Structure 1
Amino acid sequence: MSVLFMFPGQGSQRAGMLHALPGDPVVAQTLAEAGDVLGVDPLALDTVEALRSTVAVQLCLLIASVAVARTLVRQDAGPDMVAGLSIGAWPAAVVAGVLALSDALRLVRLRGQLMEDAYPSGYGMVAVIGLAETQVDAIVAQVHAAPTPAYVANINAERQIVVAGNDAALAQVTALAQASGASTVTRLCMPVPSHCPLLDAQAEALAEAAAKITARAPRLTYVSSSRARALFRAHLIVEDLAWNMARPVLWHDTLRHALERGASMAVEVPGGGALARLAQAVFVADAVLDAGSGLDAVRARIQRHRRGGNP
């Protein structure tokens, strides 16, 4: 009865998210550790104003994800398998024991700064819902050019595809997708064009920094959302983390791979619901949980699931 923890990416942040963390000793410990490493009170990072920065967003998601996961682990309701979407791969690696939280904090701060400096404005991402991947591929091929770069960035579900590019390209993608029958085309709360070659140089710089840290083989199964398969060697996971900002996210295939490797329950941590909704297309609906709905109930269901009971 393996349990998968799913960690969300940028766009799932919300003001006050660190203030809303559970009143658990490991949460306080995690916040204190983050403050020591960053040199600032992490609770200052989750204001509306602070979250306009990509750096603050990514740090908040890392800290909140690790804090909630550690709480569940302490309560004997931890994961057997982890996967993260985009920045979510970093807390996944911490929870798997690959990275120390201190190293992850430093590298994620650099990651966010590299992305923010490269694309302070004029770029982003749109989610196209209702079209197949082949249809979105064709639209992107029609739009992509030097003045209008466009790339398929995330395959979140069979008919939920995210495109990255500049504002002009995304406007064209939106118009063409709507004309092709997309049910919804939504501009995401993402100020940078993630998961495409526009971030190759930044990923290379992050990889150079990441290569200097000490990483360990995972204590549990780490599933890469860039490769949609499990990775077991520390240096491959570190490389995967550094380069995931410039590689497409294969989230739907990642969930299917986790299922095929034996995951029978999927839990979104720290919560929010976006990944839980995507997981319901792959897992039995009753076996998909959102930690944001209440940790006591989530803990009880994970423990019952492990005993062989109904989810």
Structure 2
Amino acid sequence: MSSFWVFPGQGAQQAGMLHALPDDPLVRECLRQASEVLDEDVLELDSPQALQATREVQLCLLIAGVACARVLMARGSAPDYVAGLSIGAYPAAVIAGALSFADALRLVALRGELMQRAYPQGYGMTALTGLDQGVVERLVAQVHGPHSPVYLANINADNQFVIAGSDQAMADVATLAKGEGAAMAKRLAVSVPSHCELLNEPAQALAQAFAQVTLQAPTLKYLSGSTARPLFTADKLREDLAYNMCRLIDWRSTVQTAYERGARLQIELPPGAVLTGLARRVFGNGLEQGSAVAFQGARLDTLSALSREEGCRHP
């Protein structure tokens, strides 16, 4: 088997996303378990109003990813590699057998609360496309300062990056980027400045909570979205999950690593298809180079057939 399952990060959320999950006993069980662990009805987390809060967004992404991955696995599909962008690392760790779903729910709820509490307003993230990394880094350095914090946060593709920081600093970088010929500068639906040193303190608080949780060595190959390297031990994975909120995400290299290690089918778990679009630069869309598909909008039998076909071609 040479398939790569990926889990999206904050910004991919959609109103009603939990209600739109497949009508399947495994999905219902995930929703039931999540409601029991959190002591609340998780089907109330995906309303447009609820999704204004970081905690609710991150919990929805965790639940959707785990539920749909379990549905695929029950149909005979199994990934060789898993990875998640930012919060997506948590469902990836659950599916890799390293972190229990119950512990992931409690940790993600805390993660979202810590991040939101640190920056309740005035900060966020902005996507830039159409520029080289060197240009983006130069523009960020031009604006960044004690009263205008802004950082390179995500390397998503050769010409797609995300910056994080204060509203004004991001707006200033966006203006400069357009002057340099950027194709797009778009504020994301993320209300905190993730993947930069502004979140060092919340990450340290989360690490303290992680110290009380038991993790296992992953039974699948888990790729860190920060280092783009496989992690094999519980301690390494614990650190990766606790601190990924304040570390640069190198998703471009993560996808490339999976491909170089033999993955030829990428399946993106819900919601959305942003990671599928990014992967097609690497995986292409043909039999020789590989395929990248999104769970959302695809038929379950089609995804299962693709997984079986890939397993036969690359045993």
TM-score, normalised to structure 1, is 0.98
- Asked whether the equivalents of residues 69 and 270 of structure 1 are also in contact (C-alpha less than 8 Å), the reply is no
- Residue type of the alignment partner of 1:292: Q
Aligned ranges 1:38-77 → 2 under 5 Å: 38-77=38-77
Residue in 2 that maps onto 1:290: 294
Aligned-residue offset at 1:171: 1.0
- Residue type of the alignment partner of 1:285: N
Aligned-residue offset at 1:271: 4.0
- Residue type of the alignment partner of 1:6: V
Is 1:307 matched up with 2:279? no
State the alpha-carbon separation in 2 of the partners of residues 101 and 262 from structure 1: 28
Is 1:194 matched up with 2:199? no
Residue in 1 that maps onto 2:276: 276
Match of 1:46, SS state, is: coil
Aligned-residue offset at 1:263: 1.0
Is 1:27 matched up with 2:31? no
Unaligned runs of 5+ in 2: none
- Asked whether the equivalents of residues 14 and 271 of structure 2 are also in contact (C-alpha less than 8 Å), the reply is no
Residue in 1 that maps onto 2:138: 138
- Asked whether the equivalents of residues 13 and 271 of structure 2 are also in contact (C-alpha less than 8 Å), the reply is no
State the alpha-carbon separation in 2 of the partners of residues 50 and 229 from structure 1: 34
Aligned-residue offset at 1:305: 2.0
Aligned-residue offset at 1:218: 0.4
- Asked whether the equivalents of residues 225 and 254 of structure 1 are also in contact (C-alpha less than 8 Å), the reply is yes
Aligned length: 309
Residue in 1 that maps onto 2:11: 11
Question: Could you report, residue by residue, the CA deviation over 1:194-248 in whole angstroms, capped at 9, with x for unpaired residues?
Answer: 0000000000000110111010010110000011110001111011001000001
- Residue type of the alignment partner of 1:85: L
Question: Could you report, residue by residue, the CA deviation over 1:261-291 in whole angstroms, capped at 9, with x for unpaired residues?
Answer: 2211111002411000000011132411110
State the alpha-carbon separation in 2 of the partners of residues 147 and 297 from structure 1: 51
Match of 1:33, SS state, is: helix
Residue in 1 that maps onto 2:224: 224
- Asked whether the equivalents of residues 221 and 231 of structure 1 are also in contact (C-alpha less than 8 Å), the reply is yes
Aligned-residue offset at 1:93: 0.2
TM-score, normalised to structure 2, is 0.96
Residue in 1 that maps onto 2:182: 182
Aligned ranges 1:81-160 → 2 under 5 Å: 81-160=81-160
State the alpha-carbon separation in 2 of the partners of residues 212 and 21 from structure 1: 32
State the alpha-carbon separation in 2 of the partners of residues 189 and 285 from structure 1: 29
Aligned-residue offset at 1:304: 2.0
Question: Could you report, residue by residue, the CA deviation over 1:135-186 in whole angstroms, capped at 9, with x for unpaired residues?
Answer: 0000000000011001000000010010001011011101100001101111
State the alpha-carbon separation in 2 of the partners of residues 13 and 299 from structure 1: 24
Identity %: 51
Aligned-residue offset at 1:293: 1.7
Match of 1:93, SS state, is: helix
Unaligned runs of 5+ in 1: none
State the alpha-carbon separation in 1 of the partners of residues 177 and 251 from structure 2: 21
**Divergent runs of 4+, >6 A:** none
- Residue type of the alignment partner of 2:202: Q
State the alpha-carbon separation in 1 of the partners of residues 114 and 162 from structure 2: 21
State the alpha-carbon separation in 1 of the partners of residues 133 and 313 from structure 2: 37
Aligned-residue offset at 1:79: 1.0
Is 1:242 matched up with 2:242? yes
- Residue type of the alignment partner of 1:97: G
- Asked whether the equivalents of residues 271 and 296 of structure 2 are also in contact (C-alpha less than 8 Å), the reply is yes
State the alpha-carbon separation in 1 of the partners of residues 185 and 284 from structure 2: 27
Is 1:37 matched up with 2:37? yes
Question: Could you report, residue by residue, the CA deviation over 1:99-135 in whole angstroms, capped at 9, with x for unpaired residues?
Answer: 0000000000000000011111100111110001100
Aligned-residue offset at 1:260: 1.4
State the alpha-carbon separation in 1 of the partners of residues 183 and 280 from structure 2: 19
Residue in 1 that maps onto 2:170: 170
